[in-house]
Amino acid sequence: MTILVTGATGNIGAQVIQHLVNRGADVRALVRDPSKANFPAGVAVAKGEFLDVDSLRSAFEGVSTLFLLNAVVPDEFTQALIALNVARSAGIERIVYLSVIHPDVYVNVPHFAGKFGVERMIEQMRMHATILRPAYFMQNDLMIKDVITGYGVYPMPVGDKGLAMIDARDIAEIAALELLRREQAAQPLPTDRINLVGPDTLTGTDIAAIWSDVLARPISYGGGDTAAFEQNLNQFMPPWMAYDMRMMGERFLIDGMLPEGGDVERLTTLLGRPLRSYRAFASETAASS
């Protein structure tokens, strides 16, 4: 009985592997370049990538449970569908898929729409999966730490509807727990969706106020201009991705990213502890600077 983790060298995937190893699971990691893999002792490494179908067939052989994490890339949707089809052919009936919250609402945002399409395939093909739907990752704000500390501005277009930001460490632990729940079940479990949210729903002004407290100096919220946001992102990411992020920001302003009733309580029960707060994240980030 083997759990295969894709996206294994990324922030979430690496933490998922560590949690699984800590709990005694038999883990295999899918990586493009095994020479760059650095995993805990006992983790098997499979060389492969999503668009190399033969490598997936080999990597999926003997796997009982799959963690499917696709990076935000232009062909993310194709990669995910190929992986699920190959998994189905390999007889894998236990899946945890990392989607995104509200993909049925953020319909014009490319990576949200792609993940919603993958969810539809899981349902239509009657696959057995936990679909994890995380809200905005707190750790995304590490990209703008220098803007916050250097210019005194929180620039993300969060708006005034609010985002239920979640710590990536909580995402990884919940993913590992769900993988183990499915792996250890006597029969494949029915498909389930879990919104992954943080304990607080914060507006742009709320977040700026937290940074003001943590840094002990005024930080203002200046993130309502999505055109400027896209222009800034163009300096360090491909234009298609900067535009994708702009579309996401515009939906932040229109819809927010709000939890549903009972989400926080469900996650707290699942973890057996409180969810990490944005204030704690900001304090840790400031202390490590």
The tens digit of pLDDT for each residue in 170-191 reads: 999 999 999 999 999 999 999 9
User: Is the predicted pLDDT of residue 165 greater than 90, yes or no?
Assistant: yes
**So what's the pLDDT on residue 225?**
93
Contacts of residue 68, defined as CB under 8 A and 6 or more positions apart, other chains included, come to 6, 80, 83, 84, 87, 95, 96, 97, 98
What φ, ψ does residue 170 adopt, rounded to 5°?
-70, -40
Share of the chain above pLDDT 70, in %: 100
| Average pLDDT for 248-269 | 97
pLDDT per position as a tens digit, 20-74: 999 999 999 999 999 888 999 999 999 999 999 999 999 999 999 999 999 999 9
Percentage of residues in the chain with pLDDT exceeding 90? 97
DSSP state of 34: G
Question: Region 8-15: what's the mean pLDDT?
Answer: 95
Instruction: Say what the pTM is.
Output: 0.96
3-state helix, strand, coil in the chain (%, to 5): 50, 15, 35
Task: Select 3-135+167-197+259-273's CATH number: 1.25.40.10, 3.40.50.720, 3.30.1240.10, 3.30.460.10.
Answer: 3.40.50.720
Tokens of residue 112, six digits: 């949200």
pLDDT for 223 equals 81
* Cα–Cα distance, 17 to 172 (Å, whole number): 9
AA identity, residue 255 = D
- Quote the pLDDT of residue 153: 96
Q: Does the structure show a pLDDT above 80 at 289? A: no
Predicted local confidence at residue 1, as pLDDT? 87
Q: What is the pLDDT of residues 188-238, one digit of tens each?
A: 999 999 999 999 999 999 999 999 999 999 999 998 899 999 999 999 899
pLDDT score recorded for residue 36: 82
Alpha carbons 14 and 29: distance in angstroms, whole number: 9
Express each pLDDT in 102-151 by its tens digit: 999 999 999 999 999 999 999 999 999 999 999 999 999 999 999 999 99
Q: Where are the domains of the chain?
A: 3-135+167-197+259-273
